[in-house]
Each structure stands twice: as structure tokens, then as C-alpha cells.
Structure 1
Amino acid sequence: MSYKVKLEAFEGPLDLLLHLINRLEIDIYDIPMAELTAQYIEHLHAMRVLQLDELSEYLVLAATLIEIKSKMLLPVHEGEEFDDEIDFEMEDDPRDELVARLIEYRKYKEAAISLKESADERSDHFTKSPEDLTEFGEVVPSGIEENLNVFDLIGAFQKMLDRNRLKAPMTANITKMEISIGEKMDAIMAILERGGGKCDFYALFDEGDTPALVVTFLSLLELMKRRDIIVVQQGNFDELTVAFRREDE
């Protein structure tokens, strides 16, 4: 399978950390490192299965999280004398540097959003008369506010892999099956047709080996990119639903 995907939502490992902190409703000044590290590594497992490029910087931050978690597990002995040849730099809290990086990154991210909004507003002003673009068709703006991002979908994908791993039989017959992204997209649209225009996210991954599951996931992303479908979630941590995108959305 030579289908490669580059997603703008993957802005970097700090973006993933901020996403998890917001998703888990964690206080950024009092981060539970064990929980955050576990969630971060779960997302990396899903990204590795999807064979996404540029994972090295995510792995570097994963090592940093594990290091901070390890430091917090070490006992602190006040007044303990160390060998003069070993230079220990004791920090009040091993998380301080990470928190500072996250706060600084969040400031730049919010500033970037503000600048983009200013640029979008400025782009509405022209110094020339508008041209006739009717031949290109009418552009209908989307009125729906998306409540999910790619990190949410990758988390759901990892959850699905865990479910399938528990249901996997002890023995299996290996058979080779090849299916293209386009064929899988048609199959997903057919499933939605039979289901009245919507279906459960995990129902699309009921069968198939890992390559087949990856093809299904990439097909979903492509259909969302083409604005043929949407993936919605009613509440935090609720099940995901895949549905046709209506013309008014």
C-alpha cells in the first residue's frame, strides 16, 4: 500500500499534548504524568500503525515524558550528600520545564489563530471589482461546527485496535486480500446507504487484518476531506458516529 497522507492537524507533539490536556480536563499546572504519558503513548501506537511520517519528534517528547514520570517516582532525601564527581541539579518539580513549554506554545498557537482570523477578515477586502465566477458554481459555506479533530479519530482508532486484539482468535488462516482506498470509500458509502445515512464508527472495523483496518481509516479521512461524510460525537468520550454530510452543513 503506497497511499501516503500528510495531515495539517499534526502540528507537532506539543499540539498533541495540549489536545490531551484539554480532552482529559487536566490542570496544566498540576499534570498527572502517569495518565498523560499513557494517553500520549497510546496515540503514538496508533500513529505508528497508520505509518504516518515524521514521528521522530513525537518519540523524542515521549522519552521526555517518561523521564519526567521517572523523576517523580524517585524518593527525595533532604540533606543527602552526593559524590563530588556527580553533579545533580535538583529541581523543585520535574514538570516545570514541560509546563513552561506548553504555556509558551499555547500563547503562540493562540496568537497564530488571532493572526489568521485577522488575515481572513482582511481577505474580504479587495481593491478591484469582483469577477464573474458563476461558471465555477456556487460555493456553499459550511454552517456546521466540527467538534472532533484528527487526534480524536486516532484515539478512537487505537481503541478499536485494542478491542480487535482482545477478540482475536488464538489461531488464524493467513490470506492475502488487496483493496484500494477508492474501493473502500465506495464500500463505506454503501454501508451508510444501507444504514439510513449513518453508522457506528467501530462498526466499519468489524473485520480485517491491520492493513485492511488502516485502509478503512484512511478512506474515512479522505471522505471527510472531500466533505462527503462527517464524524460526530455527542459528548466527551461518547461513541463516534459516521454520517452523510447534508447539503446545508
Structure 2
Amino acid sequence: MDAEERNKYVVNIPVFEGPLDLLLHLVNKNRIDIQDIPVHEITDQYLEYLKAAEQFNLELGSSFFQMATTLLYIKSRMLLPKQRQADDEDVEDPRLELVRSLEEFKKMREVKFQIESLIAKQAPFRMKEPEEIQSGVYNGKISVKRLSQIFFALYDDSRFKEERVLSSEEVSLDEKMYDLERLLKKEKVIDVMAYFKMQKSRMHLAVSLLALLEFIRLGRVVLGHSVHGMTVERK
């Protein structure tokens, strides 16, 4: 399709943060059980989106094409004769790692929506959006449930019941990400609970979690465990 043809139509192409965001959209759109993804169908739709994005000059990160390769590989594995698959009992479902990643990504998004909802209720406080949203790959190897449990336990803690910030204060996600990066350069490994307790209000607490989730999404940190609890480590 050339430029003249494109100008004849108004086409809305949704923009996704990353490949897992796109895949989750396709799963929800087709009302698919995330535990039993029809890879052939999803792969075709995924590739159709990439083609449409290319036709309309929508820039996509390399991670979208890496995921396309992964889907094609899984699709080829699923096409193997069933008898050949049955002969090797140790071979796991080739979709398994993808399913795990999607489930964890979905949990992470749900937590993020909860936090954003809390922020919206914290009037007159405001959160400044980051100047630039980057696309990354989420590896699906963290306990988002545990992370959210820590956050909400602290959110209801008495130390955060009374706000200790000026009513006109803006809490910037960019600044929180910068603070976290600076802290990780100094410590490399930090305790999640200690990091959250450093925050001076509920608003700061909420935006600090968004900063941590963004670092996880971008693959810049990994979550681990110590005898004291959950930790964050710079990659």
C-alpha cells in the first residue's frame, strides 16, 4: 500500500508497550484460555499486526520481532507428529514458558492498574507521566503477587495514613526511576520492604512501586529473596 492509498483511509492501529502486551490483547480479544493458547491462530494474528504496523510506518522495537520468531518456533514444534511427541515423555509443552510469561505479565498489569487507581484517588496530589515510555521484554520470572502484598500491607500502615507532603506536590515517575537507579548503583541489591519504607507518603509509595514495575518490565532489575524478604538486584 503506497502513501496515496493510505491517505484515503482512516485506520486506527492500537499501539502496544511490548510483545506480551500485544499477545495478551489477542488472547482477550479471542476469548482464549491462557492455559491452552492455539498457537497457530495467535501467531497468524500476531504477524498480521506486524505487517499492518509496517504498512502504516508504526515503529516497533526489536522485541516484537524476537517474539515473532519465538511464536514461529513454538508453532513448528506444535506441528510435530503426535506420535513423535509421545515417544519423548520428558518434552514439555512448548507453550509452557510463553504461558508463564503471559500470566505473570497479566498479574503485573493488574497490580499496575490498581496502583494507578489509587493514585487517581489521591487528589489533590498528581503524578507526572514519564517523558518517554520505552518498550521492553518481561521475562515473567518474578512473584508479582508477593510484591503487591508487600505494597498493600505498607499502604495501609499507620505511618502512611497521614500525608506529609504539600498539597501542590507532584510526584514524578521519572524522578522515582532516577532515584531507584541511583540507589541500585550504590547498593546493587536492596531490600524491597526497606525501599518502600523510605517513601514519605502514600503517593510516593505508589509511584515508587510503578518505578519498580517499570524497571522489571524493561529487564533492568530482577527480584530475588533473602532471609529478610524480597530483594531487588541490578542486572
Higher Cα Rg, which structure: 1
TM over 0.5, yes or no? no
Shorter-chain TM band: 0.3 to 0.5
Q: What TM-score do the two structures reach when normalised by structure 1?
A: 0.42
Q: What TM-score do the two structures reach when normalised by structure 2?
A: 0.45
